């Protein structure tokens, strides 16, 4: 790894540190606590490959005071990658322009007997949906 790459990596780590936001919301009438963690990595251009990378993520943790089975989490994330090179416009350049995006959401909760999971994953290529799947799982707690 070159000194320039190390410097870039350190700057990215510092940048990501400042974009991680946590908010705690307390509903006093219902004794419900919501911890919301937001990550926005910003839009980064990788100059060597003319690739644009963008990532966002929101995690919401919820629980009611004295009710451990009320715990739940909702996670939503999106990653976008684009290649937008001027030379790709030229005929026979061998390069392509592309635009991809993946969006995921997941919800987890429980009751006295089971853990539950519901997730959805959707992908787009050049703004056209090319994959979409939703699934649910019910997992026995086995005394947990």
pLDDT in tens, 89-143: 555 545 578 899 999 999 999 999 999 999 999 999 988 999 999 999 999 998 7
What is the DSSP secondary-structure string of 81-125?
EEE--GGGGSTT-S---EEEEEEEEEEEEE-SSEEEEEEEEEEEE
Helix (H) or strand (E) holding 17: helix 3-18
| Number of structural domains found in the chain | 1
- What's the confidence (pLDDT) of residue 5? 54
81 strand-pairing partners = 53, 100
| Domain region containing 14 | 3-140
Specify the length of the chain in residues: 144
The rounded mean pLDDT for the chain is 82
- Residue 79 CA: distances (Å) to CA of 22, 40, 93, 101: 20, 10, 27, 6
Q: Model-level pTM greater than 0.85?
A: no
Q: What is the DSSP letter of 141?
A: -
HEC profile for 64-89?
Answer: ECCEEEEEEEEEEEEEEEEECCHHHH
- Whether the CA torsion 9, 14, 15, 19 is positive or negative: it is positive
**Sheet of strand 51-64, all strands in order from the earlier edge strand to the far edge:** 20-27, 32-46, 51-64, 67-83, 98-110, 114-125, 128-140
State the pLDDT confidence band at 7, using cuts at 50, 70 and 90.
very low
């Amino acid at each position: 790894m070159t000194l320039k790459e190390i410097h870039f990596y350190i700057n990215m780590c510092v940048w990501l540190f400042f974009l991680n936001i946590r908010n705690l919301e307390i509903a006093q009438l219902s004794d419900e606590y919501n911890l919301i963690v937001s990550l926005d990595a910003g839009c980064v251009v990788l100059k060597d490959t003319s690739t644009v990378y963008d990532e966002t993520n929101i995690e919401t943790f919820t629980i009611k005071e004295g009710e451990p089975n009320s715990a739940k989490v909702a996670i939503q994330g999106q990653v976008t990658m684009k290649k937008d090179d001027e030379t790709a416009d030229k005929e026979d350049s061998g390069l392509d322009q592309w635009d991809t995006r993946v969006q995921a959401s997941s919800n987890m909760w429980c009751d006295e007997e089971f853990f539950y999971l519901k997730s959805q994953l959707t992908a787009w290529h050049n703004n056209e949906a090319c994959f979409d799947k939703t699934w649910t799982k019910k997992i026995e707690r086995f005394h947990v």
